[in-house]
């Protein structure tokens, strides 16, 4: 069995170096290969990989193609039976991947697995979430989720976390974080790769949804552990673009996987939120551009996807 480790980076030179060194220090027991797809970094990331990590196959894009498209580039060249999508702002620990690989080996019906994330200087969290629904999005977009953060009866994220914490064993979930996502190649052949209409955010949500609908189990394996520094490429992008990308991804997901009535409710919720934000934000605030584009997407005046024209809007 061959494990293919795919890493996408955008101006994360320091964290990318730590990530690659952690793979050297704590390599998986199985044969493996590593790909780094650089999305037009200007901080010397491609040069770092080429000069210090000759064992890594580097794909250097001239511009930022997005997380989904970059992973699909590497996937087209990967030879592994098992694919690990790994963020550049993560680090492996001793036997981080062993429990994940063993779970896939022992349970043929399990198609996707993910570990526990240990945030540097903070707590450990399961890399799990429930499928996006209207109740959770209502709590999120109204700001109420923060007030009910620890209430498992109200916060669906907390319900899933508590179930996983009490179990201590692998547990089936709706979807897993893309920071460290291990997938059988058979799953990708059956349901397809990442949807490149998602530029940043919810690519893994969409993939897990398609896998579950095809009959595969998606499982959180708590014995696997990684360090997730957080931020990384997302902190390098403009706040307005992240807001646009995240919100447009929600719309795209609901277009694909939810009813027309649910999509209409989400559009109404988002329209009120961003119309109010557009009214109160300062004229000089670059987020105004993002809010206008979100409103255009809601009423159908722009595609529900991020385009290259969005990358340098101001």
CATH number attached to the domain at 2-234: 3.90.550.10
Give 69-92 as a DSSP string: HHHHHHHHH---SEEEEEETTEEE
What pLDDT was estimated at residue 235?
A: 42
What pLDDT was estimated at residue 152?
A: 65
What pLDDT was estimated at residue 283?
A: 87
Q: What number of other Cβ atoms are within 10 A of residue 62's Cβ?
A: 8
pLDDT digits (tens, 9 = 90+) for 87-130: 999 999 999 999 999 999 999 999 999 999 887 766 666 667 76
Residue ranges of the chain with pLDDT lower than 50?
234-237, 312-314
Q: Residue 249: which residues within 8 A CB-CB, separation 6 or more?
A: 198, 199, 200, 201, 202, 203
What pLDDT was estimated at residue 224?
A: 94
What pLDDT was estimated at residue 29?
A: 87
- The length of the chain in residues reads 314
pTM exceeds cut of 0.85: yes
What pLDDT was estimated at residue 138?
A: 78
Cross-strand partners of 301: none
What pLDDT was estimated at residue 231?
A: 58
pLDDT digits (tens, 9 = 90+) for 31-49: 999 999 999 999 999 999 9
* Token pair listed for 295: 């409103």
- Rounded to the nearest 5 degrees, what angle is found at the Cα of 262, between the Cα atoms of 257 and 266? 105
What pLDDT was estimated at residue 236?
A: 41
What pLDDT was estimated at residue 313?
A: 38
Give 12-25 as a DSSP string: -HHHHHHHHHHHHH
Query: Coil, strand, or helix at residue 63?
Result: coil
Query: Coil, strand, or helix at residue 105?
Result: helix
Domain ranges of the chain: 2-234, 238-310
Measured CA to CA, the distance from residue 181 to residue 223 in angstroms comes to 14
Asked if residues 17 and 38 have their Cβ atoms less than 8 Å apart, the reply is: no
Q: What is the CA radius of gyration of the chain?
A: 19
Place of tokens 């902190």: 235
Measured CA to CA, the distance from residue 128 to residue 160 in angstroms comes to 7
């Amino acid at each position: 069995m061959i494990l293919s480790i795919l890493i996408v980076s955008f101006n994360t030179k320091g964290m990318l170096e730590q990530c690659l060194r952690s793979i050297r220090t704590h390599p998986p027991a199985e044969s493996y290969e590593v790909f780094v797809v650089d999305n037009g970094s200007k901080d010397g990331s491609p040069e770092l990989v080429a000069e210090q990590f000759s064992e890594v196959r580097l794909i250097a894009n001239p511009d930022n193609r997005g997380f989904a498209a970059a992973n699909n580039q590497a996937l087209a060249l990967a030879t592994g039976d098992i694919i690990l999508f790994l963020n550049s702002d993560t680090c492996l620990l001793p036997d981080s991947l062993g429990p994940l690989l063993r779970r896939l080996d022992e349970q043929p019906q399990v198609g996707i697995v993910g570990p526990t994330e240990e945030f540097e200087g903070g707590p450990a969290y399961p890399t799990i979430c429930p499928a996006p629904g209207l109740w959770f999005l209502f709590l999120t977009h109204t700001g109420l989720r923060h007030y009910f953060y620890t209430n498992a009866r109200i916060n669906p994220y907390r319900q899933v976390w508590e179930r996983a914490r009490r179990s201590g064993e692998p547990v089936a979930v709706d979807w897993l974080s893309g920071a460290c996502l291990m997938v059988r190649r058979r799953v990708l052949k059956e349901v397809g790769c990442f949807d490149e209409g998602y530029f940043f955010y919810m690519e893994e949500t969409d993939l897990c949804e398609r896998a579950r609908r095809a009959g595969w189990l998606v499982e959180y394996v708590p014995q696997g552990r990684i360090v997730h520094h957080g931020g990384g490429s997302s902190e390098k992008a403009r706040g307005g673009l992240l807001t646009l990308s995240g919100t447009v991804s929600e719309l795209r997901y609901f277009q694909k996987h939810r009813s027309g009535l649910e999509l209409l409710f989400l559009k109404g919720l988002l329209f009120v939120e961003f119309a109010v934000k557009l009214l109160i934000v300062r004229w000089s605030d670059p987020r105004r551009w993002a809010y206008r584009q979100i409103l255009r997407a809601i009423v159908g005046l722009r595609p529900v996807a991020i385009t290259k024209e969005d990358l340098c809007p101001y």
